[in-house]
Structure formats: C-alpha cells, structure tokens
Amino acid sequence: MRSLVTPRLVLRPWTLDDREAWYELSTDPRILIHIGRGQPPSDDEIDTRLRTAIDAWDRPGYGLFACEQLEPADDDHAPIGLVGFAEPTFLPELLPVLEIGWRLRPKFWGRGYASEAAAAALTWAFDHDLFSRVVACIQVGNERSVAVADRLGMHPLFRTVIPSYECWADVYELTRADWERI
C-alpha cells in the first residue's frame, strides 16, 4: 500500500512505532464518548487492533490509514488520527458493505483534517473500484462526525440500534455516482 498525500496530510499504513498515537485514539474519553460503549479496550486489545490495522494492508483492498500532518506545527510527528474502511460487523443488517470511519486526536479537532483525510480515502477507494457504495455509522449525538459526513456529501439512510453496544446510530451512505457529482 502506498501513501496518499493531501494538501496538509499524509495518509499511510500504520506501524508498530505508532502505538502511542493508536493508544490515545483508543482510550481518550473525549473520543470514546461516541464509540461503542464508551469504554477503552484493554492494553492487549489495543495491541491486537493495531496489529490488525497493520496487517490489513497485506490483503488486497482496504484498511485504516494513519494520518500525519505534512508540516507539523510542533515536534509532534505522531499520527494525528486515522481514516479508512472496515466491514461494519457490529451491524449485520448492513453487510455486505464497507464503512468509512475517521477519528482524530482531540488537539486536532476543528481544523478540517477529518474531512480532508476522508475525501482522499474515498477518492482513492472509488478510483480503485473498492466498492460502489460506502456507509458511515455515526452514534446519535456525534455532531462532529455528522458534519464530516455532510461535507463528504453522504446522506442519511436510517436510524438503528447497534446491538452489541445497545446505542442508537444513524447510517449515512455515499455512492460512487454521488461522489462523482460532488
């Protein structure tokens, strides 16, 4: 997998050297309020998920990108977040489909990075015929992610309960045709 470059970011595969940023993205309560049950995974689960993100690029198709600033404003060269694609196995009624997701470290919120990274990932995925449609499952109340979905041109499909988390989520969709019109 090669890296993608946007005006302000590099999207690249994850490495074991990224564990500190992965840990923050997995445990910060400001992030977790809108993910699953809001509880951080164990250290072993964090390590397993990072290895899964690294190994995902060994198979053809899709995975999660680490997002880095091209020109960091400080000495923080760690990934600022993640963006990419996964199967939403937590919501079987959607399958088969891929979900796009994004997550940023809180100090980078409000700068348009999530939209920029997601747009680059979508362009790459549609250009490589990964899918003809993609969804985003956004927990009710996560207005930041709704704003990103809106900026990407996604439209709401329906509201449902994510069974394993017992929480409400809105499912948004974007088709290749929608993306080409934007």
CATH numeric code, 4-181: 3.40.630.30
The pLDDT of residue 37: 85
CA distance 21 to 79: 6
45 phi, psi to nearest 5 deg: -65, -40
Residue 1: the pLDDT is 60
- Answer whether 88's CB lies under 8 Å from 99's CB: yes
Q: How far apart are CA 122 and CA 90, in angstroms?
A: 22
pLDDT at 11: 97
Q: How far apart are CA 61 and CA 98, in angstroms?
A: 11
- What tokens appear for 86 in the block? 């996964």
How far apart, in Å, are the Cα atoms of 12 and each of 31, 106, 181? 21, 20, 27
**Domain residue ranges of the chain, discontinuous segments joined by +:** 4-181
10-residue averages of pLDDT along the chain (182 residues): 90 95 96 90 94 84 91 82 94 92 96 98 93 96 97 97 92 95 86
